[in-house]
Amino acid sequence: MLSGIEGKLTSLVADALSTRTHLSAREAPGPAPALEAGKGAVLVSLAELTRAATFAPAQVAVDGARSRRVLPIEFGARVEFFLRPAQPDAAGLAAARELLLDDMALVSHGLGTQDVATGRAFASGGPDPGFHVTSFVLTTGGIARDLEAQHLSGALRYTGRGEIWPPGVTEPEGEIRSVDSVLVSLPLAIEARDAVARAGGSVTIRVRALGGRRQTSLQPPQAAPLRLAVTVVSDAPPAQRGAITGGVAGTETGFRVIELTPPETAIGYQAPATGISRTRLEYVAIHLATPTGQRGVFLGSAAVRLEP
């Protein structure tokens, strides 16, 4: 429920700061953390909660033959930044303040996408997460001018809307007497064999029915093999996610580029060695790779269930 929203927001902040090696993102609780010189931290927390005004029918959500009572909410979130200057002199303070402002700008930009604003980025891989976010926007921010307890600090404040409910609590609805079928042609078959993993375990994802070669612009003309760009999508922060084994590192952070080997290509997934405290899902997302090693057209995904 609320903890799921806070955890997902922490994951989004961590993704926005993936290139900032001096920072670590963490969930509340905690005051300003003890930091080494030149290091920083970002603390993410839900700070406020109110019931959203809505029509009575919006308090019930129907899912197939069952329904549940939901609570429409508005919530406030804080993303707090702490940075200890590398040097305590005037030049060190000026450099640290510049770094802090850039950190805050990166997070505000990363959380300013359409997917975050509409709540789509908060979608959870679990079957019943207990929450659904419909909007999330920046409302205000602030930066402390001076040092406090050896830290420079700042904060971004966000307002969100959504619904929460107790996971697994539903009520029966009426009988479904007819079903419309929609047939969709997929470009390839994706299968995860033994798609349950514990800490440190591995799963093989097999991709079939996709072959061919990419025509390059080399002279004389030369056909290059098709490649896949593969990554792990998860609600957990990057350091607590599984990883793709094999292939080579792509030009985008977190992606591996794997050459297709028709009629079947094997993709290795390695579960995280620690940090699996509860059952959760991660997804192996598969794209066509561009000639420059970036993600191209999304082809599909396979779910892997992690067990503690």
3 state DSSP class of 3: helix
Give φ, ψ of 232 to 5 degrees: -105, 125
pLDDT of residue 100: 93
Structure token digits, residue 26: 């963490």
Contacts of residue 233, defined as CB under 8 A and 6 or more positions apart, other chains included, come to 125, 282, 283, 284, 285, 301
| Residue appearing with tokens 């997929």 | 186
Among candidate residues 306, 308, 286, the one with its CA nearest the CA of residue 296: 286
- What is the average per-residue pLDDT within 132-157? 91
- 159 in the same domain as 115: yes
Name the pTM for this structure: 0.57
The CATH number of whichever domain residue 108 belongs to comes to 3.30.2000.10
Residue-wise pLDDT for 262-280, tens only, equals 788 899 999 999 888 888 8
Element (H, E) at 142: strand 131-143
pLDDT of residue 260: 83
Contacts of residue 138, defined as CB under 8 A and 6 or more positions apart, other chains included, come to 108, 111, 112, 156, 157, 158
**Whole-number Å distance between alpha carbons of 207 and 191:** 7
Range of the domain at 226: 189-306
- 196 in the same domain as 145: no
- Judged by phi (left if over 0) then psi (alpha if -120 to 50, else beta), residue 241 lies in beta
- 148 in the same domain as 85: yes
Look at residues 110, 142, 172 and tell me which one is the last residue of a structural domain: 172
| Residue appearing with tokens 């990166």 | 106
Residue-wise pLDDT for 147-196, tens only, equals 888 889 999 999 999 998 887 766 655 566 666 554 444 446 888 777 89
